[in-house]
């Protein structure tokens, strides 16, 4: 049987509509018909406008960098006098799954508005939500966006405006949030499979089976201090987390400042996702000794050569990139100061270990 070419079908259809429109009718039928058509047209326009405004309203309720949308403080966990965790839930369920969209290739933040003094501050969302039954922090599973919920780990400073204001807000209070803003982008290998993170959902797993990637994963180093650790945790805990290993250097007063985030850090270490060094100033008061410990464990950089076929897990860890995140003093010691919010030349310990502008990035 011969198939009719689609163009012919379209032409015939067009002809049918065309001839029907111009067939003469008796006058009173024409008047009745034009009334019906008019009412129909108004109805159709009203309906289209109605659906258009619903669509616009729905779109404007999706998290966007161009406008603020309301989020409710759904949980608040005080860790110590300076650190706390917030779970934020959007008033309107979010359709977009930012965790799968961003993956571990994008480091992203959101902005929170303080309406009284009209300033915004950036915060780094974590793919975590509070389990209603056990009142524990749980990772948001693959394929879900938890309806748009996320967690923020925040430090308040003595004279800091926004973090102190955030901390004072009661449970259920609504705050305005916009984003996402991409702070850094790692190379994305098109068609690469996701990395599993089963161990986050099942404590019984003794070790995770290695994923059979298409391309050889690359390792990175991250130097973080204080709340700077959230940048590392975001790409380690998100859906399809970092495929290579992270050399994570974490400086803090005490690791207990992490509160409910601490078990996640040790889980990541236990399952080989990170090579962890924690430097607690409460345990080692001497700054020079702490710096010596960081220095001793700074890996040498490796040239990034782009994608190559997967040959199995990296036998020797080979970081191709160093990201630095923390207070200005810390950034300066590790990698040289940022200048006027720009990167500035690479200095500090990383420069002395052979790292350069080409493989170091200072996060803000
Ligand atoms: C991309 C990005 C992501 C961020 N993510 C987070 C996050 O997830 N969690 C978080 O807690 N913060 C995060 N920050 C920092 C955050 O945006 C605010 O700067 C911080 O909450 C302080 O704001 P504030 O209004 O309370 O203090 P401000 O009023 O801005 O500062 C007042 C004083 O507080 C002190 N202070 C402020 N920031 C620091 C600092 N970093 N180190 C030392 N002293 C400081 C200084 O004495 C300063 O003069 C992020 C910043 C950026 C740019």
Contact 197, 237 (CB under 8 A): yes
Per-residue pLDDT of the chain (364 residues; tens, 9 = 90+): 332 233 222 222 222 222 223 233 345 555 554 555 455 555 666 656 555 555 555 557 899 999 999 999 999 999 999 999 999 999 999 999 999 999 999 999 999 999 999 999 999 999 999 997 777 999 999 999 999 999 999 999 999 999 999 999 999 999 999 999 999 999 999 999 999 999 999 877 776 677 899 999 999 999 999 999 999 999 999 999 999 999 999 999 999 999 999 999 999 999 999 999 999 999 999 999 999 999 999 999 999 989 999 999 888 888 999 999 999 999 999 999 999 889 999 999 999 999 999 999 999 8
Cα(227) to centroid(ligand 1), Å: 9
Token code pair at residue 324: 């630095």
Residue nearest to atom 4 of ligand 1 (CA): 123
Closest-CA residue to 186 (of 143, 215, 147, 228)? 215
CATH topology of 69-185 equal to that of 198-362?
no
Mutate to test the pocket of ligand 1, among 78, 117, 122 (most ligand atoms within 8 A of CB): 122
Token code pair at residue 22: 């111009």
Mutate to test the pocket of ligand 1, among 102, 119, 123, 169 (most ligand atoms within 8 A of CB): 123
Angle subtended at Cα 105 by Cα 208 and Cα 185, rounded to the nearest 5 degrees? 150
- β partners of residue 178: 111
Mutate to test the pocket of ligand 1, among 79, 83, 163, 235 (most ligand atoms within 8 A of CB): 163
Pairing between strand 119-123 and 174-185?
Answer: unpaired
Angle subtended at Cα 258 by Cα 253 and Cα 261, rounded to the nearest 5 degrees? 155
Q: Provide the CATH number for the domain formed by 198-362 in this structure.
A: 3.40.50.80
DSSP letter (8 states) at residue 103 = T
pLDDT in the model for residue 18:
27
CB atoms within 10 A of CB 138: 17
At 289, is the secondary structure helix, strand, or coil? helix
Superfamily grouping for domain 69-185: Translation factors (2.40.30.10)
Cα(154) to centroid(ligand 1), Å: 9
- Cα 4 to its chain centre, rounded Å, is 50
User: Residue 123, annotated ligand binder?
Assistant: yes
Query: DSSP letters along 190-236, please?
Result: TTPPPPP-GGGT-TT-SSPPPP--SB---EEEEEEEGGGHHHHHHHH
% of the chain surpassing 90 pLDDT: 75
Query: DSSP letters along 130-190, please?
Result: E-TTT--EEEPPTT--GGG-EEEEEE--TT-SHHHHHHHSPTT-EEEEEEEEEEEE----T
Taking only the tens place, the pLDDT of each residue in 27-68 is 555 555 455 545 555 566 665 655 555 555 555 789 999 999
Q: Is the CB of 113 under 6 A from ligand 1?
A: no
Angle at which helices 229-237 and 262-270 cross, to 10°: 60
Q: Is the CB of 318 under 6 A from ligand 1?
A: no
Q: Is the CB of 71 under 6 A from ligand 1?
A: no
Please state the domain extents for the chain: 69-185, 198-362
Contact 327, 225 (CB under 8 A): yes
What does the alpha-carbon distance between residue 110 and residue 65 come to, in Å, rounded to a whole number? 8
């Amino acid at each position: 049987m011969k198939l009719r070419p689609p163009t012919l079908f379209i032409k015939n259809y067009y002809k049918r509509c065309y001839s029907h429109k111009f067939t003469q009718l008796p006058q009173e039928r024409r008047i009745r018909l034009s009334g019906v058509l008019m009412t129909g047209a108004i109805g159709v326009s009203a309906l289209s406008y109605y659906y258009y405004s619903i669509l616009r309203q729905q779109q404007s309720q999706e998290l966007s960098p161009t406008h603020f949308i309301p989020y409710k403080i759904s949980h608040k966990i005080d860790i110590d006098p300076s650190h706390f965790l917030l779970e934020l839930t959007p008033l309107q369920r979010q359709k977009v799954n930012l965790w799968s969209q961003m993956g571990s290739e994008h480091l992203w933040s959101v902005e929170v508005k303080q309406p009284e003094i009209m300033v915004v501050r950036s915060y780094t969302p974590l793919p975590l939500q509070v389990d209603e039954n056990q009142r524990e922090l749980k990772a948001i599973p693959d394929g879900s966006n938890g309806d748009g919920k996320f967690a923020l780990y925040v430090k308040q400073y003595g004279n800091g405006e926004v973090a102190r204001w955030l901390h004072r807000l009661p449970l259920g209070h609504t705050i305005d949030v916009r984003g996402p803003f991409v702070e850094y982008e790692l190379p994305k290998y098109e068609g690469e499979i996701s990395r599993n993170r089963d161990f986050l959902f099942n404590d019984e797993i003794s070790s995770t089976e290695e994923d059979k990637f298409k391309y050889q994963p690359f390792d990175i180093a991250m130097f973080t201090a204080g709340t700077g650790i959230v940048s590392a945790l975001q790409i380690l805990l998100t859906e399809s987390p970092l495929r290579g290993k992270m050399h994570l250097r974490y400086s803090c007063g005490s690791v207990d400042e992490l509160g409910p985030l601490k078990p996640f850090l040790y889980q990541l270490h236990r399952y080989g996702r990170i090579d962890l060094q924690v430097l607690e100033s409460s345990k080692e008061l001497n700054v020079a000794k702490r710096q010596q410990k960081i220095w001793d464990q700074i890996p040498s950089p490796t040239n990034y050569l782009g994608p190559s076929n997967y040959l199995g897990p990296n036998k020797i860890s080979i970081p191709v990139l160093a990201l630095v995140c923390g207070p200005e003093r810390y950034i300066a010691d590790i990698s040289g100061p940022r200048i006027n919010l720009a990167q500035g030349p690479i200095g500090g310990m990383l420069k002395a270990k052979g790292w350069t502008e080409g493989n170091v990035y200072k996060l803000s």
